[in-house]
Amino acid sequence: MRRVLGRWIFLVGCWIFLSFLPGCEQAPPPGAVTVLTEETFDKAIAKGVVLVDFWADWCVPCRTQRVIVAEVAAQASGKGVRVANLDLGYAEAREKVEHLNIEYVPTLIVFKKGKPFKTFEGLTQKDALIEAINDAKAAK
């Protein structure tokens, strides 16, 4: 038993160590929600259709919305759509808040080729998000 536990601790330690090495960032698995920062935001939305969930840690409806967004990500997996989120609780995110005129959280925006296609304010159901994503994919 000790031997198995020791190997498990060793493997977890190696994984943690390797995950912090520069250049070892892995692409998120299909269906995962990508966490964006101020620096990665513009590049992430530049191509294709991207659903971005703008949330804050102190926002209670945002917690429910994050579960819905994860379900949308799982359903949109493999369909050429990316799903991401940006925590507006950080001071660095203020520029995006002002640029995109975000007044409420949660706010969800479907981007197409870097431009906002459709915006949702407040708790939004999965069906509405999927419909907006499909509309953005079909639009020229």
Task: Indicate which residues carry an active-site annotation.
Answer: 59, 62
**ω into 106 cis (within 30 of 0):** yes
Kindly state the tokens that stand for 91.
């001071």
Question: What are φ and ψ of residue 110, in 5° steps?
Answer: -95, 120
Length, in residues, of the chain: 140
Of 81, 54, 78, 60, the C-alpha closest to 135 is 81
